């Protein structure tokens, strides 16, 4: 009798396991490699992460370093998942870089090194054309080929691959940078829309309602797939509204953060959030997590570093010849179109923006439309 009952229960248990996995929830913060390799700062961030229920660190890998592997091992020993962020094209690629497999290979060396040291997932950022490129539907097709190339190599090492996308791509493809989420859907394990309210244009419309801006964007993204995207979705949210960093109190910053988090929590078909601070300042976030009931993260066993090294030049002391990873705030419009107060930008009309659309645009895209 028990055998029959066990056989009957097995499909149910398997189904429940699948449901649990599908709804795994991540809460993370971004770290530069420089900050990772500062022991005192890293120890502090690990302590706060444990105290506030964070389960993920998104960590830059910009250059080979003897300090990198031990620091990664410390993060993983604390039970925190490591998502390695690698910038593919600094500030977006030009036509020559986009077509150069030699260039892709150079960036892949960093990815292979990260996986060797136990990275749980790889996140590709700036895998796109420059936002200054003219609009062209071919751009997304070019980027798609690069994404497929990286995914084949990364998945072959039993590691999932995520990509970062502009927040506006949740609504429609970007012809300038070449990002199209429906085109890319079959070649990624995760997409991370950068739904920073301050980066939508006009920001005065969107950053005053951070919950709605983020929730609408995420629901629009999953809506392309009838609420069931074939990849994980983690929203990148911002630690503070960069337009008013010096004009807002900590209490106001914390209120802003809480609304962002709630916007993600109440979206359908997403797997969590990563908070972005270019300088890794997270004190306000930690206060929000300590003082409010926030959806709990799921903790699973993280990968261990491989015993057998991958064939990469891990002994190189000189960094790979690339520019320093740009802060994500570089994706916003240059300072000359950033308002000095909340009214400045409203006085300048956007004459070339299509009048028929009410969809939000990323600030850098609007910069191209204006100038």
Residue 132: how many other CB atoms lie within 10 Å: 14
Integer CA distances (angstroms), 289 to 16, 50, 125, 268, 369, in order: 29, 11, 27, 21, 39
Region 250-256 average pLDDT: 96
Does 348 score more than 50 pLDDT? no
Beta bridge partner(s), residue 235: 273
Least confident of 134-138, 237-241, 281-285, 309-313: 309-313
| C-alpha span between 82 and 101 (Å, rounded) | 27
| C-alpha span between 185 and 231 (Å, rounded) | 7
107 Cβ contact list (under 8 Å, min separation 6): 86, 87, 88, 320, 322
Please provide residue 167's backbone torsions phi and psi, each rounded to the nearest 5 degrees: -60, -35
Region 306-330 average pLDDT: 40
Q: What is the pTM of this model?
A: 0.80
| C-alpha span between 139 and 95 (Å, rounded) | 9
pLDDT (0 to 100) of residue 18: 36
Does 44 score more than 70 pLDDT? yes
pLDDT (0 to 100) of residue 203: 85
Region 134-158 average pLDDT: 98
305 confidence band (pLDDT: 50, 70, 90): low
Integer CA distances (angstroms), 346 to 35, 111, 141, 337, in order: 38, 43, 35, 11
Please provide residue 310's backbone torsions phi and psi, each rounded to the nearest 5 degrees: -80, 150
| C-alpha span between 165 and 240 (Å, rounded) | 19
15 confidence band (pLDDT: 50, 70, 90): very low
Percent share of the chain, pLDDT over 90 = 70
pLDDT (0 to 100) of residue 61: 98
Helix axes 39-52, 68-77, angle to 10 degrees: 20
| The token pair that represents 171 in the structure block | 């609504």
299 confidence band (pLDDT: 50, 70, 90): confident
Structural domain spans, the chain = 25-292+317-370
pLDDT (0 to 100) of residue 80: 98
Least confident of 17-26, 46-55, 245-254, 312-321: 312-321
pLDDT (0 to 100) of residue 370: 32
pLDDT (0 to 100) of residue 23: 58
Does 323 score more than 80 pLDDT? no
Percent share of the chain, pLDDT over 70 = 75
| C-alpha span between 231 and 159 (Å, rounded) | 14
Average pLDDT score, the chain: 82
301 confidence band (pLDDT: 50, 70, 90): low
Q: Which of 137 and 317 is assigned the larger pLDDT?
A: 137
pLDDT (0 to 100) of residue 242: 84
Q: Quickly name the fold that domain 25-292+317-370 has.
A: TIM Barrel (3.20.20)
| C-alpha span between 205 and 220 (Å, rounded) | 18
pLDDT (0 to 100) of residue 300: 75
| C-alpha span between 322 and 64 (Å, rounded) | 12
**What one-character-per-residue DSSP string does 67-130 give?**
THHHHHHHHHHTT-EEEEEEESSTTSB-HHHHH-HHHHHHHHHHHHHHHHTT-SEEEEES-SB-
CA 317 to chain centre: 28
What is the sign of the dihedral through the CA atoms of 251, 252, 253 and 258?
Answer: positive
pLDDT digits (tens, 9 = 90+) for 112-131: 999 999 999 999 999 999 99
Tokens 């908070």 found at: 275
pLDDT (0 to 100) of residue 10: 38
pLDDT (0 to 100) of residue 169: 97
Region 164-186 average pLDDT: 97
First to last CA, the chain: 76
21 Cβ contact list (under 8 Å, min separation 6): none
Q: Can you tell me whether residue 281 is helix, strand or coil?
A: coil
Given phi > 0 = left and psi -120 to 50 = alpha, else beta, which region is 260?
alpha
306 confidence band (pLDDT: 50, 70, 90): low
268 Cβ contact list (under 8 Å, min separation 6): 218, 219, 222, 227
| C-alpha span between 275 and 52 (Å, rounded) | 14
303 confidence band (pLDDT: 50, 70, 90): confident
């Amino acid at each position: 009798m028990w055998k029959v009952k066990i056989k009957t229960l097995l499909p149910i248990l398997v189904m429940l396991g699948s449901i649990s996995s599908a709804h795994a929830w991540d809460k993370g913060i971004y770290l530069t490699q420089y900050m990772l390799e500062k022991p005192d700062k890293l120890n502090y961030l690990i302590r706060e992460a444990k105290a506030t229920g964070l389960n993920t660190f998104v960590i830059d890998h910009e250059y080979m370093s003897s300090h990198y592997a031990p620091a990664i091992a410390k993060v993983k020993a604390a039970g925190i998942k490591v998502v390695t962020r690698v910038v593919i094209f600094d500030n977006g690629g030009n036509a020559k870089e986009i077509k150069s497999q030699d260039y892709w290979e150079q960036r892949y060396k960093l990815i292979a090194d990260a996986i060797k040291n136990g990275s749980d997932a790889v996140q590709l950022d700036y895998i796109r054309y420059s936002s200054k490129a003219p609009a062209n539907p071919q751009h997304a097709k070019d980027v798609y080929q690069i994404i497929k190339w990286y995914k084949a190599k990364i998945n072959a090492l039993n590691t999932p691959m995520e990509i970062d996308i502009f927040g506006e791509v949740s609504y429609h493809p970007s012809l300038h940078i070449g990002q199209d989420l429906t085109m890319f859907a079959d070649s990624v394990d995760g997409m991370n829309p950068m739904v920073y309210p301050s980066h939508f244009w006009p920001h005065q419309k969107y950053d005053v309602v951070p919950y709605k801006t983020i929730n609408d964007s995420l629901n629009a993204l999953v809506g392309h797939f009838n609420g069931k995207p074939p990849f994980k979705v983690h929203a990148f949210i911002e630690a503070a509204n960069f337009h008013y960093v010096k004009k807002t109190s900590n209490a106001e910053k914390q209120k802003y953060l809480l609304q962002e988090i709630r916007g993600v929590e109440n979206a359908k078909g997403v797997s969590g959030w990563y908070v972005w601070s270019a300088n890794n300042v997270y004190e306000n976030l930690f206060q929000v997590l300590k003082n409010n009931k926030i959806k709990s993260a799921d903790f699973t066993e993280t990968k261990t570093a491989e015993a057998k090294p991958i064939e990469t030049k891990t002994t190189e002391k000189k960094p790979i010849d690339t520019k320093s990873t740009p802060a994500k705030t570089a994706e916003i419009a240059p300072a000359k179109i950033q308002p000095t107060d909340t009214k400045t930008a409203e006085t300048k009309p956007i004459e070339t923006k299509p009048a028929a659309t009410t969809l939000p645009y990323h600030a850098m895209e609007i910069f191209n439309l204006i100038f």
